[in-house]
A = this chain, B = another copy of it.
Amino acid sequence: MRISKRGEYGLRAMIALAEPAEKSDAPQMMQIKEISLREQISPKFLEQILLTLKNAGLLHSKMGVGGGYYLARSAKEITLGQIFRVLDGPVAPIKCVSQMAYEPCGCPDEETCGLRLAMGDVRNAIANILDNTSLSDVTKRQSAVRKKLGIK
């Protein structure tokens, strides 16, 4: 049930891009180097990931000197589910319960397949969290925890 490194790094990068944007309302621009340094990610690998995210319409970029990446929409409007699906594919643990990429799983009777019923619950539980958590929810929670711990 693991998420891939691509997924993990992509989510981290998006959160990093959302974080300063919380204070200043303007979209925050960051460079690959900056993010890779801060999150300890191979810059070349991160590059691929950000590009994928850009092609999916979640990021915009500015080329040339002083360029970088920034969120395509406000942090409130981007959910973890959107990011995850771009990088790691469907959320469902088994294809026959996927909303986005349904495929039959080969059980004798899908309607009454017990595994399918249980895994459907799991899918819904995961999707509920990922699709209802925006980047701004994440950064808010982060800073709440920081305050509670008296850090920074």
Contacts and interface: CB of A to CB of B under 8 A. Distances in A.
A142 B117 CA distance: 8
A46 interface: no
A78 to B, nearest CB: 13
A117 B92 contact: no
Interface residues of A, number: 48
Given A126-B122, A130-B122, A115 B1 contact: no
Contacts of A1: 1, 3, 84, 88, 90-93, 126
Nearest to A93: B3
Given A3-B94, A40-B106, A118 B133 contact: yes
Contacts of A146: 112
Interface string A78-108: 0010001000111111100000000001111
10 contacts: A2-B92, A2-B94, A15-B115, A80-B118, A109-B151, A112-B149, A114-B142, A118-B130, A122-B126, A125-B129
Given A3-B93, A118-B129, A126-B126, 13 more contacts: A2-B89, A2-B92, A2-B93, A3-B94, A12-B107, A12-B115, A80-B118, A111-B149, A112-B142, A114-B139, A121-B129, A125-B125, A125-B128
